[in-house]
Amino acid sequence: MEETAPYPPLPEARGLRLRRFGTRLEDLEVDLSGEDRPRAITDVLVACTVPGRDSGFYWDLPVGKRVECLLVLAALAGAGEIGAGFRCECGQSLEITLTIGELLAAGRAGAGSRRAYRRRGHAPGPQPAPGTRQPGRPGVRG
């Protein structure tokens, strides 16, 4: 039986699950090399959502929910932590490592993530610092 996890909480996604990306031959058809990231994310969600939905469903998902889906997929693929860079209001660069569980919980709690940063003595500015690490693509190696 294929490993799956529940979709992020959303009324229209009730009953949907996500299965791990990269475990079926057809996953190789998903083009992750291009510039069109929204399309690539949609294609991954189409591949991994069980049961499948019509394509309009994926495009209509709020961006935050699409990101949550990617985090769920990363967790399914065994990613434990994600590093993110920020620049503090005082100018210092910060690198914060959070577990995927913490990221999902912070996103669902709204302002929770901001509190987490403040506990470390700095407040994140609005923009990520240049050259910071981006979350890895779930289930994709090389």
Q: Binding residues for Zn ion, per CB under 5 A?
A: 88, 90, 92, 122
**Closer residue to Zn ion in complex, CB, 55/97:** 97
Cβ at position 114, least distance to Zn ion in Å: 14
**Closer residue to Zn ion in complex, CB, 4/93:** 93
**Closer residue to Zn ion in complex, CB, 88/98:** 88
For residue 18, list its beta bridge partners.
5, 49
User: Secondary structure of the chain: what % helix, strand, coil (to 5)?
Assistant: 40, 15, 45
Cβ at position 119, least distance to Zn ion in Å: 13
**By CB neighbour count within 10 A (0-12 exposed, 13-18 middle, 19+ buried), where does 138 fall?**
buried
**Closer residue to Zn ion in complex, CB, 10/123:** 123
Nearest to 86 by CA among 38, 118, 41: 118
Dist CA 25 CA 46 (whole Å): 14
The SS3 call for residue 18 is strand
Cβ at position 96, least distance to Zn ion in Å: 13
Cβ at position 131, least distance to Zn ion in Å: 18
